[in-house]
Structure 1
Amino acid sequence: MTRDDVLTYVKTLHGRQRHDQLVALRSLFTWAKRNGLIFRSPTSRIKVGQYEYAVLQPLVPAQVDRSVAAATTPATRLILALAAVHAARVAQIGTLMLDDIDLGNRRLTIAGRVRPLDDLTLKLLLDWLEHRRNRWPNTANLHLLINNQTANTTSRASNHWISAPMRGQDATLEKLRVDRQLEEAMVKGPDPLHLAQVFGLDEKTAMRYADSARALLEQAAETGPVS
């Protein structure tokens, strides 16, 4: 196989498929060269290129409404707000402690980052804390979210328990988290530094949200308002 053969083949591929096939071929020929089976890799000087992710898409209101309707308990409603308003991951929600809540100063600490408590989250948080006190008045568990299994221990609730009520919904907790970060990028402007600061995102992830928001805003500007 020659370099021209490789170029002819990859011309038939696009996007992620092209990227993955070139990576696989490069690895294969690197191994063959290392073991003396070939003298030169036919993939040399062929750039793999950076894989371009698809533009992230916002959730539609009907999808969010169905998830809100599925949140029928104080715990689930709070979990939903933590994901949809504060872009908290399931594992971060599960590890929240009572000490992470500062009601007096209306602050919430998620994964070491202090966030202001909005009116909705504050109300849902107070509803949950009242339910928690009434349901398990003598629990020694200091995690914010507890259930029948964890109330008699000091363990955190499982990721499965936290995400179960939204499973099967279009707007899962993960999609709500992504949607919140995308919304921030579209409302405040596609600034990766702002996104990194607000949500603690790494540079690559912040850039992806910013790029997606920019593409969506440009698309909206091109199509204009629907009359």
Structure 2
Amino acid sequence: MGIFEDDSEPSFERWLAERLDGLAPGIRSETERWTRVLRDGSPRSLPRREGTVWLYLNWVRPALLEWSNRYDHLREVTRDDVLTYIKTLHGHRRHDQLVALRSLFIWAKRNGLIFRNPASRIRAGQYEYAVLQPLVPEQVDRSVAAATTPATRLILALAAVHAARVATLMLDDVDLGNRRLTVAGHVRPIDDLTLQLLLDWLEHRRSRWPNTANLHLLINNQTANATSWASNHWISAAMRGQDATLERLRVDRQLEEAMVKGPDPLHLAEVFGLDEKTAMRYADSARALLEQAAEQQSP
């Protein structure tokens, strides 16, 4: 009827206010603008996934809290300040926090908030990734048992069979007539199991929300009345606490492809739409696992 006014505060706003608490006013306002550009995008940048935005702000927060004790604005932060801070970090923490700080200062320089980028030409360094390990059947079975609704069963299958991130999948990405599924711009055939779970979910979706205007494949009580995608928190809820989480199921599927078809990063990039570095990491892990298996079988 057009008379409902939703005045509830979005969870992102509550989280953002909490994360910015304690920063100097000038640094707080600049960091808030950067965070919103990460989430919403701008004419010069694409929006990031909400999970990525959370990580970036969490990574820069410790440094910003420290600098807020003596500075009021980002333009006061010097290269020596950045070098002194990152000397206290090692491994993943050093790499991740420096990447996030670079993003913040590049944005600030581009928008005229600072005169020079204090994080430029500071090497993040490289670290060795551990060999990815496949899931064991018992771990997958427990996750299968935890998926008890049409939505969670479909989410599980899309992750385990197609290595798909389902939040942004649209109804148009599913072609039931030709049994095709488009994931991240790549068309994949729909197997019998996924087809049946898709049919079950679409029937449930039609009967539960027959008048929804939301064109995303996965919807819930909140998003059925809007046009946005379902949150990653809702999507991963059923698998939370399991060894075989949705992310590990996606990793396991891509690792399986590399071991069955051969550790070819070009093949993995073509099938799953992976970037070059990620595809090479899966290929390297598959190669190491295959070599280990061969050594164990040799007399």
TM-score range normalised by the length of the shorter chain = 0.7 to 0.9
Q: Is the 8 A contact 1:90 1:174 kept in 2?
A: no
Hey, what does 2:46 align to over in structure 1?
none
Structure 1 residue 159, shift from structure 2 partner: 1.0
Q: Is the 8 A contact 1:90 1:163 kept in 2?
A: no
Structure 1 residue 51, shift from structure 2 partner: 2.1
Structure 1 residue 37, shift from structure 2 partner: 27
Q: Is the 8 A contact 2:158 2:166 kept in 1?
A: no
Q: Is the 8 A contact 2:147 2:156 kept in 1?
A: yes
Q: Is the 8 A contact 2:166 2:218 kept in 1?
A: no
- Residue by residue over 1:65-106, the C-alpha shift from the partner in whole angstroms, topping out at 9 and shown as x without a partner, is 000000000000000011111111254xxx111111111110
Q: Is the 8 A contact 1:102 1:108 kept in 2?
A: yes
Alpha carbon RMSD of aligned pairs, Å?
A: 6.0
Distance 1:188 1:100 in 2: 26
Distance 1:184 1:17 in 2: 30
Asked whether 1:110 is paired with 2:202, we answer: no
Distance 1:32 1:109 in 2: 37
Unaligned runs of 5+ in 1: none
Q: Is the 8 A contact 1:90 1:173 kept in 2?
A: no
Q: Is the 8 A contact 1:84 1:179 kept in 2?
A: yes
User: Aligned match of 2:268 in 195, 211, 221?
Assistant: 195
Distance 1:127 1:7, change over 3 A: closer
| Higher RCO (C-alpha 8 Å, min separation 6) | 1
Distance 1:37 1:151, change over 3 A: closer
- Residue by residue over 1:15-45, the C-alpha shift from the partner in whole angstroms, topping out at 9 and shown as x without a partner, is 8799999999999999999999999999999
Structure 1 residue 8, shift from structure 2 partner: 21
Structure 1 residue 214, shift from structure 2 partner: 0.5
Unaligned runs of 5+ in 2: 1-76
User: Aligned match of 1:23 in 99, 122, 133?
Assistant: 99
Higher mean Cα deviation, 45-54 or 208-217? 45-54
Asked whether 1:182 is paired with 2:255, we answer: yes
Higher mean Cα deviation, 131-140 or 202-211? 131-140
Structure 1 residue 157, shift from structure 2 partner: 1.0
Distance 1:195 1:31, change over 3 A: closer
Hey, what does 1:49 align to over in structure 2?
125
Give the SS at the match of 1:90: coil
Higher mean Cα deviation, 138-147 or 54-63? 138-147
Higher mean Cα deviation, 207-216 or 139-148? 139-148
Q: Which runs of 4+ in 1 moved over 3 A?
A: 1-50
Distance 2:108 2:229 in 1: 49
The structure that has the greater radius of gyration is 1
Give the SS at the match of 2:178: coil
Distance 1:6 1:196, change over 3 A: closer
Aligned residues: 220
Structure 1 residue 148, shift from structure 2 partner: 1.2
Give the SS at the match of 1:19: helix
Distance 1:191 1:218 in 2: 15
Distance 1:36 1:119, change over 3 A: closer
Distance 2:95 2:160 in 1: 33
Structure 1 residue 197, shift from structure 2 partner: 0.4
Structure 1 residue 176, shift from structure 2 partner: 0.4
Structure 1 residue 111, shift from structure 2 partner: 1.7
Percent identity of paired positions between Structure 1 and Structure 2: 90
Hey, what does 2:109 align to over in structure 1?
33
Distance 2:215 2:78 in 1: 64
- Give the TM-score, by structure 2 length: 0.58
Q: Is the 8 A contact 1:136 1:151 kept in 2?
A: yes
Distance 1:18 1:77, change over 3 A: closer
